[in-house]
Amino acid sequence: MIIIQNLYKKFGKLTVLDRIDLKINNQGIITILGPNGSGKTTLIKCLLGMVILNSGSITFNEMNILGKWDYRKQISYMPQIAMFPQNLKVIELIKMIKNLREGAIRDSELISMFKLEEFLDKKLGNLSGGTIQKVNIVLTFMFDSPFIVLDEPTTGLDPVALIRLKELIIKEKNKGKTILISTHIMSFVEEISDGIVFLLDGNIYFEGTVAKIKEQTKQNNLENAIANILQETYD
């Protein structure tokens, strides 16, 4: 379980997260939504200890994460932009990550699932964005972590790879894992999410199910529901 209390973060004079309170219970798929600049990625990076809070606290399984790093062994993280060494081959990168991290590994299964066999001996700098994203998926899911964080995981994926990603996420959820996702793809969210957190101007505007936000906004799909909220704020 993750408990975020009174989380405040600013960069210079810009407040990015303004006294956020959020509880993420074990098991299920939770999606963080919000327009650009709403604080989604900053919230994820605070959780991972990559950004230091100005104030507030985050506890992971009853342990305050401030100054800690061991808790990250229980987390697999897929960044929005994968900055891999350009001169490394795909297979070299996979072997390097396997050597750096402990735990059960299932890279062969994932390489086959995303049809990466023909790219293993190619340098990362020569790959397309979509293929890089598939490598990113393999590195994220090849360890059996109880908590998975995915920041814009669908970027650059072709329709077949997207279907396989959704199947993979649901499979991991069914193992009793907690999966936290940030994305702009509303159809993806509507299809797989158990709950959503909608951030707006550094605050939690809505927290609940997809069905609840559609009912609240009187819209028949999530994309229209979110558009309705944003239109109200612009007006």
The per-residue pLDDT for range 156-199, each reduced to its tens digit, is: 999 999 999 999 999 999 999 999 999 888 889 999 999 999 99
25-48 pLDDT tens trace: 867 999 999 888 888 889 999 999
CA distances from 167 to 163, 172, 186, 209 (A): 6, 9, 17, 20
Residue (of 93, 86, 156, 164) closest to 128 by Cα position = 156
Q: How far apart are CA 20 and CA 111, in angstroms?
A: 38
Select the more confidently predicted residue: 62 or 124: 124
Amino acid 195 reads: G
The dihedral sign for the CA sequence 159, 149, 89, 99: negative
CA 5 to the chain's CA centroid: 20
**pLDDT, tens digit, for every residue of 60-80?**
988 898 888 888 889 999 998
Per-residue pLDDT at 216 exceeds 70: yes
Domains (range + CATH), the chain: 2-234 (3.40.50.300)
| pLDDT score of 152 more than 70 | yes
